[in-house]
Structure 1
Amino acid sequence: MPKVSEEHREAMRQRILDAALACVARKGFSAASMADIVAEAGLSAGAVYLYYKGKEQLTVDVGRRVLEDRLAILEVLGRARPVPPPSQVIPEMMAGLPKTQFFPGIALQVWGEAVHHDELAGVARQIIGDVTGHIAAYLQKWLQSTRGLDPDAAAAEAARLAPAVVGLVQGYIVQVAFAGGDIGERYLESARGVLERL
């Protein structure tokens, strides 16, 4: 039997993820079933279950991929000299989230399910931890670059600030989902104002 290339595996994962996004967007997280996702992907159940055991795994993988793309901005900008300020970097990172299928609606559905689903809750904690870590790493570089703090002092201050910055990002997702109108732009402007005071 010929070996399956990593490119083929990745293409299959992406096909399944796209199908999951389409189903959850159409039916909602609770109502979408693995059978729906299998049918949407146009694959056999065996092929889908080879990659994902359930819709929770699928949804989490989608969320991770979207966030990795957004968090990559922090790494790129953290290497710039001078390191751009949080009032520029964090709103830029947030602004791209509603352009994805996952944010805000599906993300909020998954957060809601995580309240009473231990596996999803554990994964949500891990993802929030990852996001917090990326933001703290960026903030540490910015603090060292602009405030002249030594690495330990910058790391301590970044760790203190990062949870609130993550809260700004989460608040943006919630407000874009529910507030309507031009809240997205108004929220980003408000966040810039808050972050300018760091």
Structure 2
Amino acid sequence: MPRVSQERLDARRRQILDAASRCFARNGFHATSMQDVLKEADLSAGAVYRYFSGKEELIAAIVGSVLAEVREAFEEAVLESPPPPPDVLIGTVLRRILHRQPTLGEAGESLYPRLMIQVWAETLRNPELHAILEGGFAEVRKPWIKIVEAYQDAGMMRADIPALSVARTMVALAQGVVAQYALFGDVPIQGVELGVQALMSMGDPRTRD
């Protein structure tokens, strides 16, 4: 009997995760059953349980996948020397997250903002998921810190402020935009970029002659 290729196994796993993501984004974790996931994926129970033992494992895998996507986006920016300015960097990463496949429904709305809101809410009651998210965001902050240090080395940013403080603030900005997108619909990313530009242009009037 021919062995199933790793590529096919990975594709099937992705199919299940995408189906579960759509279900969770639409109805939340608690209102979604494994039967809902099976129906959405158009697969048998045996096919799904071969990859995931249940809903909790699916949730953890989805959270890990989303965090890896965000981390990868910023790790790519670290390779540039100096990295792009904050407005360009944040805009690039937001477009990658908000326009990422799969989408939700016929309108083509990205499901990840709604899914992230569900994840954050679930984290408040699920210690295991909290640990995954906490560790994931610690990894996400690492490339941010490297980016800030590169700004400081290039003279683009004040060097007397801890890089971690700046990194946390930039992550919070990206999270806030994702939350607005999930709650209120499409958020013009160009507007976010312009807002960051305006904040970057501010000077301290107390230092003027």
**Correspondent of 1:129 among 134, 138, 141:** 138
Residues 122-178 of structure 1, C-alpha deviations (whole Å, 9 max, x = no match): 1121222122122112222332234599xxxx7x83223211111111111112222
Name the structure with the higher helix share. Answer: 1
1:32 matched to 2:32? The reply is yes
How far is the alpha carbon of 1:78 from its aligned partner?
2.0
Give the drift of 1:54: 2.7
1: CA distance, partners of 2:130 / 2:97: 21
Q: What is the CA–CA distance in structure 1 between the aligned matches of 2:11 and 2:185, rounded to whole Å?
A: 35
For residue 169 of structure 1, what is the amino acid of its counterpart?
A
Q: Which residue of 2 aligns with 1:160?
A: 165
* Residue of structure 2 aligned with 1:189, choices 168, 171, 194: 194
Structure 1 alignment gaps of length 5 or more: none
Mapped contact 1:168–1:191 kept (Cα < 8 A): no
Aligned to 2:126: 117
Identify if the C-alpha distance between structure 1 residues 145 and 14 changes in structure 2 by more than 3 Å, giving closer, same or farther. Answer: same
Paired AA for residue 68 in structure 2: E
Among candidates 178, 181, 197, match of residue 176 of structure 1: 181
Structure 1 residues 86-130: Cα deviation after superposition (integer angstroms, max 9, x where no partner) = 222123212332223342111101111111111221112122212
Structure 2 matches for 1:61-100, cutoff 5 A? 61-100=61-100
User: How far, CA to CA, are the matches of 1:195 and 1:96 in structure 2?
Assistant: 23
| CA spacing shift, 1:182–1:48, aligned 2, 3 Å | closer
For structure 1, which segment, 173-182 or 86-95, has the greater mean C-alpha deviation from structure 2 after superposition? Answer: 173-182
1:23 deviates by 1.8
Identify the residue that residue 22 of structure 1 maps to in structure 2: 22
- Aligned-pair Cα RMSD in Å: 2.9
Task: Calculate the TM-score normalised by the size of structure 1.
Answer: 0.80
Larger radius of gyration: 2
Give every structure 1 segment of 4 or more consecutive aligned residues whose post-TM-superposition deviation is greater than 6 Å: none
Aligned identity (percent) is 32
Q: TM-score, with normalisation over the residues of structure 2? A: 0.76
Find the aligned partners of 1:59 and 1:164 in 2 and give their Cα distance: 27
- Distance, in Å, in 2 between the alignment partners of 1:195 and 1:61 is 37
- Aligned residue for 1:165, secondary structure, equals helix
Q: How many residues align?
A: 193
* Secondary structure of the structure 1 residue equivalent to 2:154: helix
Moved more, 186-195 or 12-21: 186-195
Q: Which amino acid aligns with 1:144?
A: D
Match of 2:153 among 123, 141, 144: 144
* Aligned-residue offset at 1:58: 2.3
2:103 corresponds to which residue?
none
| Aligned AA (2:113) | P
What letter matches 1:119 in structure 2? E
